[in-house]
Amino acid sequence: MKKIYLVGAGPGDPGLITVKGLELIKKADIIIHDRLGASKELLKNAKEGAELIYVGKRPGAHTFKQEEINNILVEKAVDDKIVVRLKGGDPFVFGRGGEEVRAIVRNGIDYEIVPGVTSAISVPELAGIPITDRRYASSFTVATGQEDPTKEEERLDYGKLNADTIVILMGIKNLPKIVGQMLKSRPPETPLALIENGSTKDERVVVTTLGEAVVRAEEEGVRPPAIIVIGEVVRLRSEFGR
Ligand code: SAH
């Protein structure tokens, strides 16, 4: 039977994969992976002779389109081979896992999901910012900073996100637009944190406010992968001794 395992690699620190995920990496005949940042270490656990296929972004070179990745998955699924599709964080948090599953199902291939620790929650908490707190935040929202440009419905308005804590992934490029919209519904003093390369030795945290975020991000040269956290919980960082 043809089968593909969609495995979440966690946020960066290779220790943050699940037991099941690591076992699959060790047993896999084929691993199809994205750019995994620090989690690339995990690939060292692959058995000798395993085929490792990189389908992530390559600066200055051809970048795989989602359809090409789907085709590779379908092509590489062979009877009785252990095929692992390894994705950063959790496979279904903005990882286009859904498109891959649809292609897998359409082609009559079996699949299993192995969830991962998503960066959306773990990166803030490892930086000392819990995304909920009994006193300050009883709800959170996770949004993407980059919507599908081909999408027809109304675009996301960041000013209308109304949870206590807002977490934005892939938002660095659009930071001015995101912040501009949020300033229409929140005061400029609202705490905001930018966390770059969370859970790794290169982690960098910039704590600022909604009003000053754009200038600070530029001054500090914040680069992806980074997460934006907005809300009172950002203040807890100092209470948490970070
Ligand atoms: N499926 C992934 C997210 C994919 S989108 C997950 O569940 O974590 C990629 C975005 O995730 C990046 O642009 C960045 O916003 C965020 N991200 C992933 N790893 C990160 C890390 N170690 N530090 C900061 N942000 C990270």
Closest atom of ligand 1 to 118 CA is: 7
Pocket residues: Cβ below 6 A from ligand 1: 11-12, 37, 88-90, 93-95, 118-120, 123, 169-170, 195, 197-199, 224-227
Boundary (domain end) residue, out of 65, 84, 114:
114
Instruction: State whether 29 and 101 are in the same domain.
Output: yes
The pair of structure tokens assigned to 44 is 């060292």
Boundary (domain end) residue, out of 75, 93, 114:
114
Q: What percent of the chain has pLDDT over 70?
A: 99
The pair of structure tokens assigned to 140 is 């959170």
Instruction: State whether 176 and 71 are in the same domain.
Output: no
Boundary (domain end) residue, out of 114, 129, 164:
114
Q: How far away, in angstroms, is 43 Cα from ligand 1 center?
A: 18
Instruction: State whether 69 and 138 are in the same domain.
Output: no
Query: Residue 242: which pLDDT band, with cuts at 50, 70 and 90?
Result: confident
Q: What is the pLDDT of residues 80-126, one digit of tens each?
A: 999 999 999 999 999 889 999 999 999 999 999 999 999 999 999 99
Closest atom of ligand 1 to 203 CA is: 23
Domain CATH number, residue 209: 3.30.950.10
Which sign, positive or negative, has the C-alpha torsion 147, 210, 213, 192? negative
Give me the active site residues, please. Answer: 34, 57, 170
Can you tell me the distance from the alpha carbon of 83 to that of 110, in angstroms, rounded to the nearest whole number? 11
The preferred substitution site among 36, 42, 123, 169 for testing ligand 1, maximizing ligand atoms within 8 Å of CB, is: 169
Can you tell me the distance from the alpha carbon of 158 to that of 151, in angstroms, rounded to the nearest whole number? 16
How many CB atoms are located within 10 Å of the residue 195 CB? 25
Helix axes 97-106, 66-76, angle to 10 degrees: 40
Instruction: State whether 145 and 184 are in the same domain.
Output: yes
Residue 59 has pLDDT above 90, yes or no: no
The preferred substitution site among 41, 93, 119, 168 for testing ligand 1, maximizing ligand atoms within 8 Å of CB, is: 119
Tell me the whole-structure pTM to 2 decimals. 0.95
How many CB atoms are located within 10 Å of the residue 130 CB? 17
Range 183-193 average pLDDT:
98
- What's the confidence (pLDDT) of residue 204? 97
Q: What is the pLDDT of residues 13-37, one digit of tens each?
A: 999 999 999 999 999 999 999 988 8
Instruction: State whether 228 and 128 are in the same domain.
Output: yes
Q: How far away, in angstroms, is 124 Cα from ligand 1 center?
A: 11
| CA angle, residues 28, 30, 36, in degrees to nearest 5 | 90
Structural domain span for residue 13? 3-114
Q: Who contacts 175 (Cβ-Cβ below 8 Å, separation ≥6)?
A: 145, 213, 214, 217, 228
Instruction: State whether 140 and 234 are in the same domain.
Output: yes
How many domains are contained in the chain? 2
Instruction: State whether 33 and 124 are in the same domain.
Output: no
Instruction: State whether 87 and 126 are in the same domain.
Output: no
Of all protein residues, the one whose alpha carbon is nearest to atom 24 of ligand 1 is 226
Q: What is the pLDDT of residues 136-178, one digit of tens each?
A: 999 999 999 988 777 777 689 999 999 999 999 999 999 999 9
- What's the confidence (pLDDT) of residue 9? 97
Closest atom of ligand 1 to 198 CA is: 23
Q: What is the mean pLDDT of the chain?
A: 94
- What's the confidence (pLDDT) of residue 241? 78
- What's the confidence (pLDDT) of residue 154? 67
Question: In this structure, what is the dihedral angle of CA atoms 68, 111, 78, 12, given to the nearest 10 degrees?
Answer: 60
Closest atom of ligand 1 to 38 CA is: 22
Q: How far away, in angstroms, is 226 Cα from ligand 1 center?
A: 7
- What's the confidence (pLDDT) of residue 38? 82
Range 188-199 average pLDDT:
98
- What's the confidence (pLDDT) of residue 222? 97
Instruction: State whether 108 and 188 are in the same domain.
Output: no
Alpha-carbon 149 to chain mean position: 19
Range 200-216 average pLDDT:
97
Place of tokens 């395992």: 5
**Nearest Cα to 21, choosing from 113, 108, 142?**
113
